[in-house]
Amino acid sequence: MAFSLPPLPYAINALAANGMCQETLELHHGKHHNAYVTALNGLIESKGLAGKSLETIVAGAANDAPLLNQAGQHWNHILFWQVMSPNGGGDKLPAKLAAKIDADFGGLAQFKEAFKQAGVTQFGSGWAWLIMKADGKLAVTKTPNGASPVSTGEGTPILGADVWEHAYYLDFRNVRPNYLDNFLNKLVAWDVVESLMEKGGLVSGQGA
C-alpha cells in the first residue's frame, strides 16, 4: 500500500491563534510533508519496501540516509501534527503524565527547560523529543534531519517538536527559542502525549 499524507487533525487555520499561522501549515503540511510522502513512494520498489509498515522501515533505516530522510520525516510529521491542538498548551497536564514528568524531571518547568534546550541546541535541522525509554523512564533527546528515537533505537517518542526552519520561520523568523516556548506553552496537546505514553507510542497505520 502506498504511503499517503494524512489530513491534519484540525482545520488549516485552527492553530493561528496559538502561534502557528495558516500559511505555515499550508506549506509545512501541504508542501514539505507531502514531498516526503511522494519521495518515499518513489523509493518503495527499488528498496523492496512493499508491504512493510512505516515503523519497520524507519527502525531499519539508520544506515540508509536517503531512505531515512523520507521515511523518517513522514513518521516524524505524523506524530508532530497529532501532538498539537487549538486547545493545547497550558500547565494543567493530565494526572498520569503530570506525575511521570514530576518523577522523571523534577517538575513541569524542568521538563520544559530540558526540552527547549534540546531544540535550541540541535545544530541545523532536526527534532526535539520526549521519549519513553526501555526502563520506563521519560527522557528528553534530539536528533538531526529525519532521524528520530525510532531510527536510533533510543526510545519511544511521545512528543516531538520540528526544529527545521520551515516549522517556524513565518511565525517566529529566526528566533527558534521563542517558537519552542510557544510550542510548549500554547500548542502541545498534553492529553495526546499522555495517551501515547499509555499505549506505548504512535502506530501510524502507514505502509503495511
Which range, of 127-135, 144-152, 159-167, 195-203, touches Mn ion by CB under 5 A? Answer: 159-167
Task: Rank residues 37 and 138 by Cβ distance to Mn ion and give the closer one.
Answer: 37
- The binder of Mn ion chosen from 55, 162, 171, 194 (CB under 5 A): 162
Start-to-end CA span in the chain (Å): 7
Which range, of 9-17, 158-166, 172-180, 196-204, touches Mn ion by CB under 5 A? Answer: 158-166
Number of residues in contact with Mn ion under rule CB under 5 A: 2
Task: Rank residues 55 and 162 by Cβ distance to Mn ion and give the closer one.
Answer: 162
> Applying CB under 5 A, does 171 fall inside the site for Mn ion?
no
> Applying CB under 5 A, does 164 fall inside the site for Mn ion?
yes
Window 24-63: residues binding Mn ion (CB under 5 A): none
DSSP 4-35: --PPPSS-TTTTGGGT--HHHHHHIIIIIIHH
Task: Rank residues 36 and 111 by Cβ distance to Mn ion and give the closer one.
Answer: 36
Task: Rank residues 3 and 164 by Cβ distance to Mn ion and give the closer one.
Answer: 164
The alpha helices in 51-189, defined as continuous H runs, are: 54-59, 65-67, 73-82, 95-105, 108-121, 149-152, 165-172, 176-182
How many CA atoms within 13 Å lie on the side-chain side of 136? 3
Nearest to 19 by CA among 207, 180, 128: 180
Q: How far is the CB of 141 from Mn ion (least distance, A)?
A: 18
Q: How far is the CB of 69 from Mn ion (least distance, A)?
A: 12
> Applying CB under 5 A, does 183 fall inside the site for Mn ion?
no
Task: Rank residues 27 and 108 by Cβ distance to Mn ion and give the closer one.
Answer: 27
Q: How far is the CB of 68 from Mn ion (least distance, A)?
A: 15
Beta strand 126-132 with 156-162 is antiparallel
Beta strand 138-144 with 156-162 is unpaired
With H, G, I as helix, E, B as strand and everything else as coil, classify residue 188. Answer: strand
Distances (CA, A) of 91 to 63, 79, 188: 39, 21, 10
Q: How far is the CB of 166 from Mn ion (least distance, A)?
A: 5
Q: Distance (Å, rounded) from C-alpha 159 to C-alpha 131?
A: 7
**Which residues form the interface with Mn ion (CB under 5 A)?**
162, 164
